[in-house]
C-alpha cells in the first residue's frame, strides 16, 4: 500500500524549528569528546523514547514493504520483506541523540548493516553522497562515509521486538553517530549521488552533517 505524502513545506513545526535554528536554541558553545563523555553537549538523558516526525505515520505491512536502492551504484536492488530478511543480519547497541536535546542510551537494533548493503549494491567511484527517502516524503542526506559508519544499519527490530510503526517500522535507518534526524523512518528508497543535496531538515535550518559532539545543530548561514 502506497501512502506517500509530499513533504509539508511551511508547517507550523517547520516554522518553529527554523526559528530555533535562528535563535540557536540548545546551543552551549561547547564541544564534547566521545572518548571520555557519554552525553554530548546540551543534551539531557531520557528513559522513554519520544516520537518525532512530520506527523504522518504511514502504515506499511511487511507484505507491501519494498526497499529500492539506486543511483550511482553497480547493482541497483528492489527488495521485498523476505528478500530483506534473508540478507546477513547484524545487531548494534547505540545511543540516540536528538537535536531537540534528548538522548537515550543503550538501544539495541537488529537489521542489515550499511556496510553489508554497500557490499551488495557496490557504489561507483564517483558516488560520494546518499539520500534516504521515507514513505512519508521525508528525506535526509549523508556523505557516503557517514552512511558507511560501522554502527549504521537498516533496522527492523529494537530491543528484540519488531520496530513499532511510530518509530519507523517496518524498517528505518539508524546512524547513531549523527543527530537522530539523519535516521530516516519508514525507509523506502536509498539514492547514491555524485553531488550533495539537502534533505528536508537540512533545507530548513538544520546543519548539513549533524555531529552531536561538535553541536552541529543548525546551518551556519
Ligand X SMILES: Nc1nc2c(c(=O)[nH]1)N[C@H]1C(S)=C(S)[C@@H](COP(=O)(O)O)O[C@H]1N2
Query: For ligand X, which residue of 183, 192, 205, 217 counts as binding (CB under 6 A)?
Result: 183
Which of the listed partners (ligand X, Mo ion, none) does 183 bind, with a CB threshold of 5 to 8 Å by partner kind? ligand X
156 binds ligand X, rule: CB under 6 A: no
At residue 189, the 3 state secondary structure works out as: strand
Number of residues that bind ligand X (CB under 6 A): 18
The residues binding Mo ion (CB under 5 A) are: 52, 181
Q: In the bound complex, which residue of the shown chain has the CB atom lying closest to Mo ion?
A: 181
136 binds ligand X, rule: CB under 6 A: yes
Contact stretch for ligand X (CB under 6 A) within 76-84, 106-114, 130-138, 213-221: 130-138
Give me the DSSP letters along 25-71. TT--S----TTT-SSPTT-EE-SS----SSS------TTT-EEEEEE
Query: For ligand X, which residue of 65, 81, 138, 147 counts as binding (CB under 6 A)?
Result: 138
At residue 210, the 3 state secondary structure works out as: coil
Which of the listed partners (ligand X, Mo ion, none) does 196 bind, with a CB threshold of 5 to 8 Å by partner kind? none
Q: In the bound complex, which residue of the shown chain has the CB atom lying closest to ligand X?
A: 134
Cβ atoms within 10 Å of 131's Cβ, excluding its own: 20
Nearer to ligand X, 40 or 126 (CB): 40
218 binds ligand X, rule: CB under 6 A: no
Please report how close the Cβ of residue 120 comes to ligand X at its closest, in angstroms. 23
For residue 124, what are the CA distances in angstroms to 74, 75, 118, 119, 188? Answer: 6, 10, 10, 11, 21
Q: Give me 125's grid cell.
A: 567511484
At residue 19, the 3 state secondary structure works out as: helix
Q: Which of residues 36-95 bind ligand X (CB under 6 A)?
A: 49-54
Please report how close the Cβ of residue 193 comes to Mo ion at its closest, in angstroms. 23
- Distance CA(176)–CA(165), nearest Å, equals 19
134 binds ligand X, rule: CB under 6 A: yes
Please report how close the Cβ of residue 165 comes to Mo ion at its closest, in angstroms. 18
**Peptide bond just before 166 cis, omega within 30 deg:** no
The two beta strands, 153-158 and 172-174, are: antiparallel
Residues of this chain that interact with ligand X (CB under 6 A) are 49-54, 98, 134, 136, 138, 167-168, 180-181, 183-186
Amino acid at each position: 500500500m502506497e501512502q506517500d505524502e509530499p513533504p509539508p513545506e511551511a508547517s507550523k513545526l517547520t516554522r518553529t524549528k527554523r526559528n530555533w535554528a535562528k535563535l540557536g536554541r540548545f546551543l552551549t558553545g561547547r564541544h564534547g569528546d566521545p572518548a571520555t563523555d557519554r552525553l554530548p553537549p546540551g543534551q539531557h538523558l531520557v528513559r522513554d523514547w519520544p516520537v518525532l516526525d512530520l506527523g504522518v505515520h504511514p502504515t506499511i505491512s511487511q507484505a507491501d514493504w519494498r526497499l529500492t536502492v539506486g543511483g550511482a551504484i553497480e547493482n541497483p536492488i528492489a527488495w521485498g520483506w523476505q528478500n530483506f530478511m534473508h540478507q546477513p543480519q547484524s545487531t548494534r547497541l547505540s545511543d540516540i541523540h536528538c537535536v531537540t536535546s534528548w538522548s537515550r542510551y543503550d538501544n539495541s537494533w537488529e537489521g542489515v548493516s550499511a556496510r553489508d548493503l554497500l557490499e551488495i549494491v557496490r557504489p561507483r567511484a564517483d558516488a560520494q553522497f546518499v539520500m534516504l527517502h521515507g514513505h512519508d516524503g521525508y528525506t535526509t542526506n549523508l556523505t557516503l562515509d557517514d552512511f558507511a559508519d560501522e554502527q549504521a544499519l537498516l533496522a527492523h527490530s529494537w530491543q528484540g521486538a519488531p520496530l513499532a510503526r511510530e518509530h519507523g517500522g517496518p524498517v528505518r535507518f539508524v546512524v547513531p553517530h549523527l543527530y537522530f534526524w539523519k535516521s530516516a523512518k519508514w525507509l523506502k528508497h536509498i539514492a547514491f549521488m555524485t553531488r550533495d543535496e539537502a534533505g528536508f531538515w537540512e533545507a530548513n535550518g538544520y546543519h548539513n552533517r549533524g555531529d552531536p559532539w561538535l553541536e552541529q545543530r543548525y546551518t551556519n548561514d
